[in-house]
Chains A and B, each alone.
Chain A
Amino acid sequence: MANSADAKNEGLIFHPMDQFIVEPLFGAGPVQWYTVTNVTLWMALSVVALILIMVVGTSKRALVPSRAQSVGELAYGFVHKMVEDVAGKDAIPYFPYIMTLFMFIVLSNFLGLLPMSFTTTSHIAVTAVMAMLVFLSVSIIGFVKNGLGFLSLFWISSAPLALRPALALIEIISYFVRPVSHSIRLAGNMMAGHAVIKVFAAFAGVALISPLSVVAITAMYALEILVSFIQAYVFAILTCVYLKDALHPHH
């Protein structure tokens, strides 16, 4: 990607967005829905990482865990506690689904931090699918568990009667904005950090600025490590909050 910029030979020209291009792994040509692309590769690597951490690491079933097993158990305990604390005891059956989302996002985010890698979670198409999955399942669970009583989520009984219609309108709008904010928050955070690192990296080509550039890349990288985890955490905890609304719609 960087070479194509050099090919034009126009000095300090950089393309921070080139890292997000989806391209076929084998041969050229248009990207069909079934084409094996870099998306396929990095999603497959996240599955491999998941198997290494959660299955291979715990295969000894040791009472005193090894390092790999502790990582798996920590991830399990972290998400399990989050589901239990935020969404309540009756949300435990949904724990595997939230764990799936959390593990996919956290592993993709961290794999995306490897140099030359492709960050699958930086694309709206990916995060929007997950956000819509959460939105639709939470809405369906809400109506199945509470029937029409789920609509009381929008009718705030603790507010004065005169205010309730206005509040209901606001609540309904915020409810339908949820999947949008849910998906754009994750993709936006991932994209911004990677693009900023790429911009700093392009400045490293100028000898005078390069030390500053290296320092800036290091600092941004540290921040991105933090963001990678926090965004996965935020995505999972918001899913738990929405799930809680579905299970207990009464404020």
Chain B
Amino acid sequence: MATKTDVSSSTCVDGYGSAIGMPQLCTDWAGNQVFWLVITLVAIFFVLSRLALPRISAVISERQGTITNDLAAAENLKSEAVQAEEAYKKALEDARLEASKIIEAAKVEIKQELDVAIQKADADISVKAVASEDAISEIRKDALANVKSLAKDITSELVKVLGGKVDAKALTAVINKKMKG
């Protein structure tokens, strides 16, 4: 458009194709501009109202819906997590209680078993002590009897050596008497 020199001059353009005054105020072109403007505005209006605006508003409301849903889901998950944590804590508490109960029971059982064993041991010990006592008294009796016979023998030998006559009955009586005294 710049190279045109044969532009037919009009009220707004001079013979060289330059503007005379302000082209914006030239009424020669007004009809042309208004005609194309109306067509353009109608075209834009139809493109917008039929295609663009319903689509964009649908997309925006859909996005809003998705965001709301996601937020609600997140809220649900959060409350579930809190519940799970509470359940876990409760389970832990229960287990701790259970464990302390088991420990208590085990302690009682062990004590009972220990008591029984101690009693049994005590009984064994007393039986053995009695037996030992018996053995000791047996031994003591034997020892006494031996002492008597020894004393009788030694005394009768002494009497014989001194030239006396041994009266067995009297000897026994004397010895018994001495041993008691």
- Residues of chain B lying within 8 A (CB to CB) of residue A96: 45, 48-49, 53
- Residues of chain B lying within 8 A (CB to CB) of residue A129: 33-34, 37-38
Say yes or no: is B7 at the interface (Cβ < 8 Å to chain A). yes
Whether A21 lies near B53 (C-beta < 8 A) is no
Give Cα distance in the complex from A138 to B3, angstroms.
Answer: 45
Give Cα distance in the complex from A32 to B60, angstroms.
Answer: 45
Q: Which of A30-61 contact B (CB under 8 A)?
A: 30-35, 37-40, 43-44, 46-47, 50-51, 54-55, 58, 61
Closest to A41 in B: B36
Contact flag A29-B8 (CB < 8 Å), given A23-B1, A47-B47? yes
B→A interface (CB under 8 Å): 1-8, 10, 12-13, 16-19, 21-26, 28-41, 43-45, 47-49, 51-53, 55-60, 62-63, 66
- Residues of chain A lying within 8 A (CB to CB) of residue B16: 4-5, 7-8
Question: Within the complex, what minimum Cβ distance (angstroms) separates A173 from chain B?
Answer: 24
Question: Within the complex, what minimum Cβ distance (angstroms) separates B21 from chain A?
Answer: 8
- Residues of chain B lying within 8 A (CB to CB) of residue A4: 2, 4-5, 16-18
Question: Within the complex, what minimum Cβ distance (angstroms) separates B55 from chain A?
Answer: 5
Give Cα distance in the complex from A191 to B22, angstroms.
Answer: 10
Of A70-78, A144-152, A155-163, A218-226, which stretch is located at the interface?
A70-78
Closest to B46 in A: A100
User: Can you list 24 residue pairs at the A/B interface with Cβ under 8 Å?
Assistant: A1-B18, A3-B3, A4-B16, A17-B18, A17-B22, A18-B17, A20-B19, A21-B13, A47-B40, A50-B52, A61-B58, A61-B62, A65-B59, A72-B56, A77-B60, A100-B44, A100-B45, A101-B41, A122-B24, A124-B24, A124-B25, A125-B33, A126-B33, A129-B37
Closest to B56 in A: A76
Contact flag A103-B48 (CB < 8 Å), given A22-B33, A125-B34, A129-B34? yes
Question: Within the complex, what minimum Cβ distance (angstroms) separates B181 from chain A?
Answer: 126
Whether A28 lies near B8 (C-beta < 8 A) is yes
Give Cα distance in the complex from A28 to B15, angstroms.
Answer: 13
Chain A's interface size range is 35 or more
Give Cα distance in the complex from A51 to B50, angstroms.
Answer: 12
Closest to A118 in B: B1
Contact flag A123-B56 (CB < 8 Å), given A18-B19, A28-B7, A46-B40? no
Give Cα distance in the complex from A47 to B44, angstroms.
Answer: 6
Say yes or no: is A2 at the interface (Cβ < 8 Å to chain B). yes
- Residues of chain A lying within 8 A (CB to CB) of residue B5: 4, 7
Say yes or no: is A199 at the interface (Cβ < 8 Å to chain B). no
Question: Within the complex, what minimum Cβ distance (angstroms) separates A82 from chain B?
Answer: 14
Say yes or no: is A63 at the interface (Cβ < 8 Å to chain B). yes
Contact flag A99-B2 (CB < 8 Å), given A21-B13, A61-B58, A123-B24? no
Whether A20 lies near B32 (C-beta < 8 A) is no
Whether B48 lies near A99 (C-beta < 8 A) is yes
Whether B66 lies near A103 (C-beta < 8 A) is no
- Residues of chain A lying within 8 A (CB to CB) of residue B38: 129
Say yes or no: is A187 at the interface (Cβ < 8 Å to chain B). yes
Contact flag A58-B56 (CB < 8 Å), given A31-B28, A31-B32? yes
